[in-house]
Amino acid sequence: MNYRFLIENNWTLNCLNIHLSVETACVFTAPTFSALASWATYLLTKEVKGTGAGLTAAALLAMVPSYISRSVADSYDNEAGAILALIFTFYLYIKVQST
């Protein structure tokens, strides 16, 4: 499948006058996954300990140097998405167990 064609010829983005290239999509993928991972960490820790602990855990994840090195704007790799999937899977597991 030609992903370049799908990204650059997206009708919705073109209607909004947003011209997106593959390189731009790759640059913003890791930071987007990083922000979502902080949100998932907040949800996971809030479910286990409480709101204050959730905020603290999300802030600590945002400051961990090894995670920052895997989620910078030029690092197009699978690690940022994998960490998000791992944390969100743990959250869903805890949520199912508590209901």
Q: Given pLDDT bands bounded at 50, 70 and 90, which one contains residue 88?
A: very high
Q: How far is the C-alpha of 75 from the C-alpha of 53, rounded, in Å?
A: 29
Q: What secondary structure, in 3-state letters, does 18-41 show?
A: CCCCHHHHHHHHHHHHHHHHHHHH
Domain ranges of the chain: 29-98
Mean pLDDT for all residues in the chain: 83
**pLDDT tens per residue, range 35-66:** 999 999 999 999 999 999 999 999 999 898 87
